[in-house]
Amino acid sequence: MPIIKSAKKRMRQTAVARTRNQNTKRSLRAELKALAAAIEAKDGKKAAEALKKVQSNLDKTVKKNILKKNTAARKLSRLTDQVKALGAKPAPAVPTKAAPKAVAKPAAKKPAVKKAPATKTVAKKAPTKKPTAKK
Protein backbone atom coordinates (compact mmCIF):
# COMPACT_ATOMS: atom_id res chain seq x y z
CA MET A 1 0.00 0.00 0.00
CA PRO A 2 1.37 3.41 -0.87
CA ILE A 3 2.12 5.83 1.93
CA ILE A 4 2.63 9.05 -0.01
CA LYS A 5 -0.50 11.05 -0.79
CA SER A 6 0.23 11.42 -4.53
CA ALA A 7 0.87 7.68 -4.82
CA LYS A 8 -2.49 6.94 -3.20
CA LYS A 9 -4.21 9.27 -5.67
CA ARG A 10 -2.37 7.67 -8.60
CA MET A 11 -3.58 4.26 -7.40
CA ARG A 12 -7.19 5.47 -7.36
CA GLN A 13 -6.82 6.98 -10.85
CA THR A 14 -5.30 3.78 -12.20
CA ALA A 15 -8.20 1.71 -10.87
CA VAL A 16 -10.76 3.99 -12.56
CA ALA A 17 -8.84 4.01 -15.86
CA ARG A 18 -8.45 0.24 -15.76
CA THR A 19 -12.18 -0.38 -15.44
CA ARG A 20 -12.92 2.15 -18.19
CA ASN A 21 -10.37 0.49 -20.50
CA GLN A 22 -11.75 -2.97 -19.72
CA ASN A 23 -15.28 -1.86 -20.62
CA THR A 24 -14.07 -0.36 -23.91
CA LYS A 25 -12.15 -3.52 -24.80
CA ARG A 26 -15.11 -5.70 -23.86
CA SER A 27 -17.46 -3.77 -26.15
CA LEU A 28 -14.90 -3.98 -28.97
CA ARG A 29 -14.63 -7.75 -28.56
CA ALA A 30 -18.43 -8.08 -28.60
CA GLU A 31 -18.61 -6.11 -31.87
CA LEU A 32 -15.81 -8.22 -33.36
CA LYS A 33 -17.70 -11.41 -32.46
CA ALA A 34 -20.87 -10.06 -34.09
CA LEU A 35 -18.88 -9.25 -37.22
CA ALA A 36 -17.27 -12.70 -37.24
CA ALA A 37 -20.70 -14.32 -36.95
CA ALA A 38 -22.00 -12.26 -39.88
CA ILE A 39 -18.97 -13.18 -41.98
CA GLU A 40 -19.39 -16.88 -41.16
CA ALA A 41 -23.07 -16.70 -42.10
CA LYS A 42 -21.97 -15.06 -45.37
CA ASP A 43 -24.47 -12.27 -44.81
CA GLY A 44 -22.97 -9.27 -46.57
CA LYS A 45 -25.51 -6.72 -45.37
CA LYS A 46 -25.16 -7.65 -41.69
CA ALA A 47 -21.38 -7.83 -42.07
CA ALA A 48 -21.25 -4.33 -43.53
CA GLU A 49 -23.33 -2.94 -40.64
CA ALA A 50 -21.23 -4.81 -38.07
CA LEU A 51 -18.04 -3.52 -39.72
CA LYS A 52 -19.36 0.02 -39.35
CA LYS A 53 -19.76 -0.51 -35.59
CA VAL A 54 -16.34 -2.17 -35.29
CA GLN A 55 -14.70 0.74 -37.10
CA SER A 56 -16.34 3.20 -34.73
CA ASN A 57 -15.21 1.17 -31.71
CA LEU A 58 -11.66 0.88 -33.03
CA ASP A 59 -11.51 4.63 -33.50
CA LYS A 60 -12.67 5.14 -29.91
CA THR A 61 -10.04 2.75 -28.53
CA VAL A 62 -7.32 4.58 -30.45
CA LYS A 63 -8.58 7.93 -29.20
CA LYS A 64 -8.46 6.66 -25.62
CA ASN A 65 -4.93 5.26 -26.13
CA ILE A 66 -6.05 1.68 -25.51
CA LEU A 67 -4.86 0.49 -28.92
CA LYS A 68 -2.11 1.85 -31.10
CA LYS A 69 -3.15 3.60 -34.29
CA ASN A 70 -1.45 1.13 -36.62
CA THR A 71 -2.85 -1.87 -34.76
CA ALA A 72 -6.37 -0.58 -35.23
CA ALA A 73 -5.68 0.24 -38.89
CA ARG A 74 -4.31 -3.26 -39.51
CA LYS A 75 -7.31 -4.94 -37.88
CA LEU A 76 -9.76 -2.75 -39.77
CA SER A 77 -7.99 -3.40 -43.07
CA ARG A 78 -8.13 -7.16 -42.62
CA LEU A 79 -11.78 -7.10 -41.57
CA THR A 80 -12.70 -4.85 -44.50
CA ASP A 81 -11.04 -7.29 -46.89
CA GLN A 82 -13.11 -10.14 -45.43
CA VAL A 83 -16.34 -8.16 -45.81
CA LYS A 84 -15.45 -7.20 -49.38
CA ALA A 85 -14.80 -10.87 -50.16
CA LEU A 86 -18.47 -11.50 -49.35
CA GLY A 87 -19.38 -9.09 -52.11
CA ALA A 88 -20.70 -6.45 -49.71
CA LYS A 89 -19.77 -2.81 -49.97
CA PRO A 90 -18.55 -1.65 -46.56
CA ALA A 91 -20.30 1.51 -45.46
CA PRO A 92 -18.24 4.38 -44.02
CA ALA A 93 -18.35 4.71 -40.24
CA VAL A 94 -19.63 8.26 -40.34
CA PRO A 95 -22.24 9.01 -42.98
CA THR A 96 -21.01 11.77 -45.20
CA LYS A 97 -23.47 14.46 -46.17
CA ALA A 98 -23.25 15.46 -49.79
CA ALA A 99 -22.80 19.19 -50.02
CA PRO A 100 -24.87 20.94 -52.68
CA LYS A 101 -22.77 21.54 -55.74
CA ALA A 102 -22.04 25.20 -56.27
CA VAL A 103 -22.33 26.66 -59.72
CA ALA A 104 -18.88 27.49 -60.99
CA LYS A 105 -18.51 31.23 -61.44
CA PRO A 106 -15.91 32.68 -63.73
CA ALA A 107 -12.94 33.90 -61.78
CA ALA A 108 -12.93 37.65 -61.39
CA LYS A 109 -9.81 39.30 -62.74
CA LYS A 110 -7.80 41.22 -60.24
CA PRO A 111 -6.71 44.71 -61.25
CA ALA A 112 -3.16 44.82 -62.47
CA VAL A 113 -0.73 46.20 -59.93
CA LYS A 114 1.58 48.83 -61.35
CA LYS A 115 5.20 48.29 -60.54
CA ALA A 116 7.34 51.13 -59.31
CA PRO A 117 9.81 52.38 -61.88
CA ALA A 118 13.11 50.58 -61.64
CA THR A 119 15.96 52.66 -60.29
CA LYS A 120 19.47 52.26 -61.52
CA THR A 121 21.68 50.49 -59.06
CA VAL A 122 25.39 50.67 -59.16
CA ALA A 123 27.06 47.32 -58.77
CA LYS A 124 29.49 47.28 -55.89
CA LYS A 125 32.93 45.82 -56.34
CA ALA A 126 33.63 42.66 -54.42
CA PRO A 127 36.10 43.28 -51.61
CA THR A 128 39.54 41.97 -52.37
CA LYS A 129 41.42 39.81 -49.94
CA LYS A 130 44.35 41.40 -48.25
CA PRO A 131 47.56 39.47 -48.58
CA THR A 132 48.48 37.73 -45.36
CA ALA A 133 51.79 38.51 -43.78
CA LYS A 134 54.33 35.74 -44.07
CA LYS A 135 56.07 34.73 -40.90
Torsion from C-alpha of 61, 25, 54, 74, nearest 10 degrees: 70
pLDDT for 112 = 73
Per CATH, the number for 5-85 is 1.20.58.110
> Could you tell me the sign of the dihedral formed by the alpha carbons of 62, 68, 69, 70, in that order?
negative
d(CA 25, CA 31): 10
| Confidence tier at 92 by pLDDT (50, 70, 90) | low
The pLDDT mean for the chain works out to 85
pLDDT greater than 60 at residue 125:
yes
Task: State mean pLDDT over 6-31.
Answer: 96
The continuous run of DSSP H or E covering 54 comes out as helix 44-63
The ranges assigned to domains in the chain are 5-85
- 30-88 pLDDT, tens digit each: 999 999 999 999 988 999 999 999 999 999 999 999 999 999 999 999 999 999 998 87
**Whether residue 124 has pLDDT greater than 80:** no
